[in-house]
Structure 1
Amino acid sequence: MTKVTAQLSVSVDGFYAGPQFDGNGNWMVSAESAKFFRVTRWATEAAAWRERQGFAGGEQDTNSEVIAESFGAAGAYVMGRRMADGGEIPWGEEPPFRAPVFVVTHRPRQRLVRGGGTSFTYVTDGVASAVEQARAVAGDKDVAVAGGGSLVRQVLKAGLLDELELHVVPVVLGTGLRLFDADLDLGDREGIELTPTRVLATPQVTHIRYAVRGRAPLVLDDRGSGGGPTVTAN
């Protein structure tokens, strides 16, 4: 059965990049990129990631196996326009996805066909439409939400996400872009429940996979509300 999955590298305190780039200057040397590159360093050093990017070398380790598994499971992708535009030149004529990609955007654009089986279809009628279009072509594989973090939140908020994998890097960043924030519109007594299904720890990163159970009311803690001894002041 096709699942809708997402993954993101985050710091221990929940940031996936530095403060958002304002468009002035070079993103590659911005505060946003510095923290983004720190939490994704484990991936860029992995052989499986490097092979997909057309680079030689890299570590053949658990982290590389996680990346190879992720690429192998995806039959189609959904991503945000900012990520698609930012990657268009670096990815070149043969992007790493090797599957159809559906880009969520407000700005129409003609479908873009690249080598290796990758195509980019620009979807202007919302996240749910992009997910459904991706599901229709994924076959027996998964729909992978490639990012960025804002899009992952949108899919989670809409109740469309079945599985979330966080790659938690042992660093505290303090400021930047958080995966989980007020955009989720959770009430004071409401949460999104997750069930951990796999944990793989390496010195560089801990991979935690969750099944997404969905929104649920929070249960008030009633410990001590009855049945125990009564304490009175003298």
Structure 2
Amino acid sequence: MTKVTAQMSVSLDGFYTGPRDARHPHDLSGWLRGPEAPGFFRVTRWAVDAMAWRERQGFAGGEQSVDSEIVAETFAAAGAYVMGRRMFDAGEVPWGDEPPFRAPVFVVTHRPREVLERRGGTSFTFVTDGPERAVELARAAAGDKDVAVAGGGELLRQVLAAGLLDQLELHVSPVLLGDGQRLFDAGLGLGADDGIELVPVRVVEAPGVTHLRYTVGGRSKLVLDDRGAGGDLVTAARQ
């Protein structure tokens, strides 16, 4: 059965990239020279060094490690992708004529564009009807494989908040960035008394990163646990 999955590399304090560069919102050609890139490349260092990642990009070298195995596993599981427009705009030129996806990619956007066909099986379809429609199209294209939400963080939050995500994998790098774009913020639309439950299903420790996989549950009410307070936390606090 097709699952909707997502993965994201984050710092220990929860950032997936440096501070957002809003100077040119629709022209990310200078993204590598902006404030987002240093944090992004720090938290994704584990993947850039992995042999499976480098091979997929057409680069030589890399390390054959547990990190490489996880990269290869992730690529093998995906039959289609969903991504945000900022990610596409930043990656279109660096990915070149043969992007690493090798599968249909559905780009959530407000700016229409004709389908872009690339070598190696990658196509980019621009969806203006929101993430729900993009996930629906990706499911139809994925066959018996999974739909992978490729990023960025804003789209991942939208998919998670809409209840569309089945599995989340976080790759936690041992670094504190202190500032940047935080993966989980108010964009999830959660109130003070509800949350989204996650069930841990796998933890893989590596020297430069910890891989945490969760099954995503539904929203649930947060219940005050007053055990040990005699059933009355207010009274206990006043004593």
TM range (shorter): over 0.9
- The total of aligned residue pairs comes to 232
Match of 1:76 among 80, 93, 97: 80
The equivalent residue for 2:42 is 38
Kindly state the Cα deviation for residue 187 of structure 1 after the two structures are TM-superposed. 0.5
AA aligned opposite 2:6: A
Q: TM-score, normalised by structure 1?
A: 0.95
Q: Please name the residue that 1:67 is paired with.
A: 71
Displacement of 1:26 in angstroms is 3.2
Structure 2 regions of 5+ residues with no counterpart? none
Aligned-partner Cα distance in 1 for 2:52–2:23: 31
2:5 is matched with 5
Cα deviations by residue, 1:35-79 (Å, 9 ceiling, x for unpaired): 011000110000000011100110000000000000000000000
The aligned counterpart of 1:28 is: 32
Structure 1 residues 75-116: Cα deviation after superposition (integer angstroms, max 9, x where no partner): 000000111111111111110000000000001100000011
String of CA shifts for 1:188-216, please: whole Å, max 9, x gaps: 01111000000000011000000000210
- CA apart distance, 1:30: 2.1
| 8 Å CA contact retained: 2:31, 2:90 | no
Instruction: Give the Å deviation of 1:142.
Output: 0.2
Structure-2 residue corresponding to 1:57: 61
Distance (whole Å) between structure 1 residues aligned to residue 23 and residue 230 of structure 2: 58
Report the alpha carbon displacement of residue 23 of structure 1 after superposing the two structures with TM.
3.1
2:229 equivalent to 1:206: no
Post-superposition offset of 1:225: 3.5
DSSP 3-state at the match of 1:31: coil
- Paired residue secondary structure (1:96): coil
Distance in 2 separating the partners of 1:133 and 1:103:
11
SS of equivalent residue, structure 1 residue 59:
coil
Partner AA of 2:56 in structure 1: R
| TM-score normalised by the chain length of structure 2 | 0.93
Aligned residue for 1:21, secondary structure, equals coil
RMSD of equivalent CA atoms: 1.9
Deviations 1:207-230 (A, max 9, x none): 000000021000111112438xxx
Give 1:222-233 correspondences, 5 Å limit.
222-226=226-230
2:62 partner SS: coil
The answer as to 2:15 corresponding to 1:19 is: no
| 1:101-147 residue CA offsets vs partner (Å, 9 max, x unmatched) | 00000011000000111000000001000000000010110000000
Q: Which residue number in structure 1 is paired with residue 128 of structure 2?
A: 124
Q: Percent identity?
A: 71
Which SS does the other structure have where 1:93 is aligned?
coil
Residue 174 of structure 1 aligns to a residue whose secondary structure is coil
Counterpart of 1:218 in structure 2 is 222
Mapped partners of 1:214, 1:83: distance in 2: 27
Runs of 4+, deviation exceeding 6 Å? none
Contact 2:80 2:142 (C-alpha < 8 Å) held by counterparts: yes
Alpha-carbon distance in structure 1 between the residues aligned to 2:62 and 2:178? 29
Give the Cα–Cα distance (whole angstroms) in 2 for the partners of residues 88 and 158 of structure 1: 27
- Say whether residues 1:137 and 2:144 are aligned partners: no
Letter in 1 for 2:111: R
Gaps (5+ residues) in structure 1?
Answer: none
- 28-37 or 133-142, which moves further after superposition? 28-37
